[in-house]
Amino acid sequence: MPYRHAYRWVLGLFPLIALAFWPGYLGQLAQAPFALHAHGLTATAWLMLLTAQSWSIHARRAAWHRAAGLATFAVVPLFAAAGPLALWSMAGLWRTQADPFHAAFGARLVIADMIAGPCVTALVAYALARRRRVGVHAAAMLATALLVLPPIIGRLFPALPGFPHGGWAGFAGFRLASDLAEGVTLLIALVLASRRSDGRVAFGLAAAATAAQLIGFETIGRTAFWERAVTRLTDMPVAPVALTAGVAAAAILLLAWRLGAARPWRVKPGLAAMSASAR
């Protein structure tokens, strides 16, 4: 099976997540708003599910892999619904100038959330539609993990000794750290896309999303037009948007599953037996 040790890399994200989000979230859970809890819990659930899916198929636990696959239809729509909650919370903190960080970057980070969330749903849908092509399916599922790298790395870089703070680097060095994080993620995505032809589309999409986040952060996100748009966004009720996002994600995944059922199995000869056992 392709990407045999990928689950180890996904597991490695969890301690990095703990380090990156301890100061602003994990270290003050009692004070965090519901939106952050919803986003954090559903994102964590998805990474855990992704780890279980990758491990189970390589451990020949076909039943566990199928169970994790079914759980996708619950976890991804919940993640999609939690996305607008986190986005509205970020926008609200920027609008109220709640703290120096959100005052400087809140509106610009809205762009990243608006790109990453739908991209996760798109990649999972693509994985389901192409699940009979094992390499394509695996690449699309694993590509979703790349989209969590920028917020992790972007919060870890400023903690490095000698990392610049202030000036062009932005408040607490976050602007420079964010750009570097997006650049590192883009490089990883491009390398992965070049290594296997069956992973080109999935990792290419992750690379495109990462590039769009970087460009949007440094261009549109700095304009008065975008700030007006974010202000109008906070005037809208978030609950209907979150519900619509969750329902739309569920519908997209179901459609992708039905499309995938009509496609023939395409695996290398040496993988045929395992693929058949995982149906």
3-state DSSP helix/strand/coil % of the chain, to nearest 5: 85, 0, 15
For residue 57, give the amino acid letter.
I
Q: What pLDDT does 265 receive?
A: 53
pTM of the complete model beyond 0.85 = yes
Cα dihedral sign, 106-109-114-120: negative
Least confident of 82-91, 112-121, 191-200, 254-263: 254-263
C-alpha closest to that of 134 among 7, 25, 26, 260 = 260
List pLDDT tens digits, range 152-176. Answer: 999 999 999 999 998 889 999 999 9
Q: What is the mean pLDDT of residues 244-261?
A: 95
CB 84 within 8 A of CB 242: yes
Q: What is the mean pLDDT of residues 110-127?
A: 96
Q: What pLDDT does 266 receive?
A: 56
List pLDDT tens digits, range 27-63. Answer: 888 888 999 999 999 999 999 999 999 999 888 888 9
Q: What is the mean pLDDT of residues 95-100?
A: 92
- The one-character DSSP state at 33 is -
d(CA 245, CA 258): 20
According to DSSP, the residues that pair with 266 across neighbouring strands are 133
Q: What pLDDT does 87 receive?
A: 94
